[in-house]
Every structure is written in C-alpha cells, then in structure tokens.
Amino acid sequence: QVQLVQSGAEVKKPGASVKVSCKASGYTFTSYGISWVRQAPGQGLEWMGWISAYNGNTNYAQKLQGRVTMTTDTSTSTAYMELRSLRSDDTAVYYCARVRVGFDPWGQGTLVTVSS
C-alpha cells in the first residue's frame, strides 16, 4: 500500500537547523510531488511548500522563504525538508504528504521541539 514514513522526533536549540526525512513506498515516487505541512501545538495546519519528485522544482510558502529547503533522493524514494535558524515558534509536528488531487496519504508526523 502507499505509505510515507517519516524520521523520528527532534529536539533543537534556537538558531539550529533540522532535517526531516519522508520515505515513500508503494508507488512510483517520481510520478507525484510531495508537500510539507506543519501543525503547532493545538493549532491548525500550515502549508510549508511543495517539491516535484520528478524534476526537483520547488514552491515555498512566502513566510518561510530563505529558511526552508526541500529536496528529494529518487534513488531511495525519500523526500527531505530542512528548516534553518530555528525559533521557538517553529515547534510543531511536521508532516509530509503525497500531492495528487489533495494530499493523500500523509506521513505519521515528526515532532520538532525548539527549546533552549
């Protein structure tokens, strides 16, 4: 079955960087894009950006431009999201999702905690 499996929880200090992975299985990885969405504690969903697994084209949310980089490794069917210059308000669960008509399926989520 189609599945996205993300890397484990991270604890980072302010100013550091984090890189979250998302390994896809059950479909042809290069046929679909991957989006990243985050959810702060008790809050709603925030779209972070999208990457084409076919050619690596990206589109980032304006709010995160300059701090986020999304990449893929087609040899391992894995997508990555790196967020730099972390702040306390970056504390959230980070999700990857396959992009079709809507986002389906989603990864299980990765909790990133930013704390001194």
Partner 1 sequence: EIVLTQSPGTLSLSPGERATLSCRASQSVSSSYLAWYQQKPGQAPRLLIYGASSRATGIPDRFSGSGSGTDFTLTISRLEPEDFAVYYCQQYGREYTFGQGTKLEIK
10 binds partner 1 (CB under 8 A): no
Question: Residues 29, 34, 50, 81: which binds partner 1 (CB under 8 A)?
Answer: 50
Q: Does 46 bind partner 1 (CB under 8 A)?
A: yes
Window contacting partner 1 (CB under 8 A); options: 8-16, 19-27, 74-82, 99-107: 99-107
Widest pairwise Cα distance in the chain:
41
Binding to partner 1 by residue 108, rule CB under 8 A? yes
Please tell me whether residue 45 binds partner 1 under the rule CB under 8 A.
yes
By CB under 8 A, residue 104 contacts partner 1 = yes
User: Cα separation of 7 and 25, whole Å?
Assistant: 14
What is the Cα Rg of the chain in Å?
Answer: 13
Distance CA 111, CA 14 (A): 15
Please say whether the beta carbons of 29 and 6 come within 8 A: no
Name which position in 24, 64, 92, 95 contacts partner 1 (CB under 8 A): 95
